[in-house]
Chains A and B, each alone.
Chain A
């Protein structure tokens, strides 16, 4: 007997958290863009609006996607029992509480907001590590998540001037860690996706080159550290350009264009190209004082990270709901809309600054939100229903 609704929703970690990630990504920029354009209601939030929009993108939407991914991938890779049912519901409730307090938290004691919002990632990590893992856990991924787990607390404490660091630096560190996590995740996903695409295109099997892959990840670790410490220093600029070259070189091993229409490989390539573009702009900003310090930031946050989140959620959503690895049209459309949003947020402030609010913010928002809405409409039913192949999970 198949059961729709709450029981299916709590049958595996990706189900609730992928839904929440897309839903929160869709609506989270609204208060920020509304305030920027001077439209819509304003209310006192727990965080300053600029910080809030970065915080909620990273520690709200992307963290929900990360949680869904880890709660699904770690059991799949290690043979550990998945966290489901009430324990999963408790994690969902903790994530929701953090969002609610940050959104309306000016009326709540700051200590409560900070404590609740900062708990989610450490609790998630502890819950994962508490499971018995028959096979070797992905230590590199979990180590990066362990560092990331302290970032929400550090961001709050930096804002409260308890930690003697700039709040922006913590957000930059978290964003860099997400890039590293994406690169690590692609190391695991790419063999599956590339082999599928090459097989369909009749090409030779995909052969990963661990040296290039490791260099790509290591260069991102170096960029993350440099960007957190000195975002506009020339040294950071050169490190960013070096990291861009490493990502571009990684692309050389990926399937050729004739295989791109098979499966989700094209989505991974879009993510990788945004990563290269973002790093080049970060490098340029470090070397050319005429370019604003934020150059490339949205290419990395929206172009790379949001498209990567969409891609990973789409692939994992297909595989773990028992569906073939065929990208739905809605995902292609959603990724296209995210690319439009990323292009507007990246290019307009740099090359059409006189249209910053109209094109860079007002026009980018509908593209962004509609992209996530399309994904929700397509995947929502699948995530709320049992697997198509009737297997558990």
Chain B
């Protein structure tokens, strides 16, 4: 028979035990949200090479569209994520407690033009039906900014068709209901491979090169990197530094071993490893800390803001945006 003293002790221990469990698990796991494309490849490598950083067990959590990421971050469900840099800036300027750790994706946007062997700049897109996945996402923003700079009206001079997902866009392109398609890697490589199968000759326009031609500088754009909750960064400065070092190592390894990296990450990307490996060769991956990349980020954000300041949340981010 249970004594009164034991019953009281058990009653006191039970709530204490339930309090201890979530604290322990929450403080020891850091989920890194990632889109299923190229960032997933280097983040997968990062988690494989450093499963525990500064006492945090790392795990990947794929996101499928930027709106899902925004909700996760705004609601505090995610403290770190690979994200388009303008999305991070926009969240920061809207008062969400996030900052930028680093920049890793520095160019992965292409326009695929059907039925041509060469594409002579954006002017060659006049009169075409151009598919764009996700309105106001990075590919759309970069493409529209370049059209504006080239004096091409996206409504009058061509027919921009916005689509729900890159998969839908790819399928419409393969069905020859679009003349051109704005896509990031590795989706662009996947479409390129399928287009060859269905007999569509293709020309590719490198938007990074078009941007450099128009605005000067190297054909690189600071498109994506790791965002982090600022509270976490302030509380765990060692974690941010460790993430920067691990991220730099992972990007360097993935760039040097595209085949192995694509194969290893296929469980996260859900894409054929051969296509991802090819895409890694076509994209520009390279690691810079957020502070080191600040000049090019501000130049990039300024060009976006010239078109619509709301794309970056109204103004350039302040010093505390740059976490490392």
A50 and B175 form a contact (CB under 8 A): no
Query: Within the complex, what minimum Cβ distance (angstroms) separates B305 from chain A?
Result: 33
User: Would A292 and B163 be within 8 Å (CB), given that A36-B197, A50-B197, A50-B198 are in contact?
Assistant: no
B-contact bits for A147-165, CB 8 A (1 contact / 0 none): 0000000000000000000
A-contact bits for B153-192, CB 8 A (1 contact / 0 none): 0000000000110011111101111000000000000100
Cβ-defined partner of A354 (8 Å) among B163, B194, B198, B275 = B163
Residue among B164, B170, B176, B190 having the largest count of chain A Cβ atoms under 10 Å: B176
Which residues on the A side are within 8 Å of B167 (C-beta)? 357
Cβ-defined partner of B275 (8 Å) among A32, A35, A38 = A38
A38 and B272 form a contact (CB under 8 A): yes
Which residues on the B side are within 8 Å of A38 (C-beta)? 190, 193-194, 271-272, 275
Query: Within the complex, what minimum Cβ distance (angstroms) separates A79 from chain B?
Result: 46
| Those of A264-302 within 8 Å (CB) of chain B | 292-294
B198 and A36 form a contact (CB under 8 A): yes
Question: Is A349 an interface residue when CB atoms closer than 8 A count as contact?
Answer: yes
Which residues on the A side are within 8 Å of B271 (C-beta)? 38
Query: Within the complex, what minimum Cβ distance (angstroms) separates A354 from chain B?
Result: 4
Question: Is B199 an interface residue when CB atoms closer than 8 A count as contact?
Answer: yes
B198 and A292 form a contact (CB under 8 A): no
User: Would A358 and B171 be within 8 Å (CB), given that A50-B197, A349-B176 are in contact?
Assistant: yes
User: For chain A, what secondary structure do more than half of its interface residues adopt (helix, strand, loop), or is it mixed?
Assistant: helix
Question: Is A49 an interface residue when CB atoms closer than 8 A count as contact?
Answer: yes
User: Would A349 and B175 be within 8 Å (CB), given that A38-B272, A38-B275, A354-B168 are in contact?
Assistant: yes
B-contact bits for A380-392, CB 8 A (1 contact / 0 none): 0000000000000
B-contact bits for A10-48, CB 8 A (1 contact / 0 none): 000000000000000000000010011010000000001
B171 and A355 form a contact (CB under 8 A): yes
Which residues on the A side are within 8 Å of B169 (C-beta)? 354
Query: Within the complex, what minimum Cβ distance (angstroms) separates B213 from chain A?
Result: 32
Question: Is A186 an interface residue when CB atoms closer than 8 A count as contact?
Answer: no
Which size bracket describes the interface of A in this complex?
20 to 34
Question: Is A356 an interface residue when CB atoms closer than 8 A count as contact?
Answer: yes
Which size bracket describes the interface of B in this complex?
20 to 34
Query: Within the complex, what minimum Cβ distance (angstroms) separates B261 from chain A?
Result: 18
A-contact bits for B131-169, CB 8 A (1 contact / 0 none): 000000000000000000000000000000001100111
B197 and A356 form a contact (CB under 8 A): no
- How long is the Cα–Cα vector from A50 to B175 in the complex, in angstroms? 14
Q: Quick one: closest B residue to A32, CB to CB?
A: B197
Cβ-defined partner of B175 (8 Å) among A35, A168, A356 = A356
A356 and B171 form a contact (CB under 8 A): yes
A360 and B175 form a contact (CB under 8 A): yes
Query: Within the complex, what minimum Cβ distance (angstroms) separates B259 from chain A?
Result: 16
Which residues on the A side are within 8 Å of B199 (C-beta)? 48, 50-51, 168
B-contact bits for A69-109, CB 8 A (1 contact / 0 none): 00000000000000000000000000000000000000000
Cβ-defined partner of B172 (8 Å) among A32, A168, A294, A356 = A356
Inter-chain pairs besides A35-B197, A38-B194, 7 sampled, C-beta below 8 Å: A38-B275, A48-B199, A51-B199, A294-B176, A354-B171, A357-B167, A360-B175
* Interface residues, chain A, with chain B CB atoms under 8 Å away: 32, 35-36, 38, 48-51, 168, 292-294, 348-350, 353-358, 360
Going nearest first, the 8 A-B pairs with the smallest beta carbon separation are A353-B175, A356-B171, A349-B175, A353-B177, A356-B175, A354-B168, A292-B176, A353-B172
25 A–B contact pairs at CB < 8 A? A32-B197, A38-B190, A38-B193, A49-B197, A50-B198, A50-B199, A51-B199, A292-B176, A348-B175, A349-B175, A349-B177, A353-B177, A354-B163, A354-B168, A354-B172, A355-B168, A355-B171, A356-B171, A356-B172, A356-B174, A357-B170, A357-B171, A357-B174, A358-B171, A360-B171
* Interface residues, chain B, with chain A CB atoms under 8 Å away: 163-164, 167-172, 174-177, 190, 193-194, 197-199, 271-272, 275
